[in-house]
Structure 1
């Protein structure tokens, strides 16, 4: 049996992690998220980045040698060493308005609605994060942007499956599963 190593990527809020978890569950294989490797554990989260060599070392220790896995999140600019392991890359694109609504809801769930509301302890950081995320479609090549993602995808040696992240999760899982069927 061939391996099933899938990387799912796209803009923040596109549904990358949700699809990664759902797909891993459907295929009964492990799911990993790049945020767990990119960021050091802190409270609140996402405060301190790990060094790229440490990220890659942890990924090699946790899942890369295994036959089957799904990894979701962005690796652009730091994870090129693991590109040869991919059997398929799924690229989710989702309209900006939907992504920003999802991110606002995620921030409220993660930190509490009062924390992200005006006057809350997390309001400023949430606003800055949403502003950063809103620039993805039109951002320059130096930042995490659609243009940067497209250039990265064009250079990949494996198939790339572009999907609309605004579609129902069950449809996306079914489409990726069909794309991987010959490998399973």
Structure 2
């Protein structure tokens, strides 16, 4: 068995979940959305974080598997997965594309065309877009520049380009 541990990082609407789902099906490797670990989806309210100790234990359970695909926007608390990953893909498509995808996803969830555990509001989407701009321009760029595991890091504008590296 080939061990494959893939970590995908990118802003909202960068295509992380889409490519992770495709890879899960094609490689037969379980995909874990880090939002499901970070956010308390059982809460009555949108935006409630899972306690840090619970979040850490959940991540540790995933990392015990020989193969996994993790995806999310998170940088700091996921250090154990970054050090363990074989490949780390950072998705940086244009902000225009990301924002179009964010709105498309929101309206599909609202119409019931796309299942969601999230309790999003229009106001929340505006906040997400503002947060995403800062994340891409500042946090993600700084992460790439200062990242310790450069030999594993691959920055892509198009999520489908991941296939060139697997």
TM-score, normalised via structure 1 length = 0.75
- Aligned CA RMSD, in angstroms, stands at 2.4
1:51 positional shift: 2.2
Number of the residue aligned with 2:152: 159
1:149 matches 2:138: no
1:85 positional shift: 1.5
1:22-44 CA deviation, whole Å, 9 max, x = no partner?
11211111110100100011467
SS in 1 for 2:137: coil
1:129 positional shift: 1.6
Give the 5 Å matches for 1:162-177.
Answer: 162-165=155-158, 169=160, 172-177=161-166
Q: Distance in 1 between matches of 2:52 and 2:59?
A: 11
Structure 2 unaligned spans of 5+:
113-119
Structure 1 unaligned spans of 5+:
114-120, 140-144, 178-184
1:46 positional shift: 4.3
Please say if residues 8 and 91 of structure 1, whose CA atoms lie closer than 8 Å, have aligned partners that are also in contact. yes
SS in 2 for 1:22: helix
Give the 5 Å matches for 1:21-100.
Answer: 21-42=21-42, 46-61=46-61, 63-100=62-99
Please say if residues 84 and 157 of structure 1, whose CA atoms lie closer than 8 Å, have aligned partners that are also in contact. no
- Seen in structure 2, the aligned counterparts of structure 1 residues 58 and 97 have a Cα distance that, compared at 3 Å, is same
SS in 2 for 1:48: coil
Q: Distance in 1 between matches of 2:106 and 2:32?
A: 20
Structure of larger gyration radius: 1
Q: Distance in 1 between matches of 2:131 and 2:2?
A: 39
SS in 1 for 2:6: strand
1:2 positional shift: 3.9
1:98-148 CA deviation, whole Å, 9 max, x = no partner?
0000011111122349xxxxxxx9222222222222333334xxxxx2333
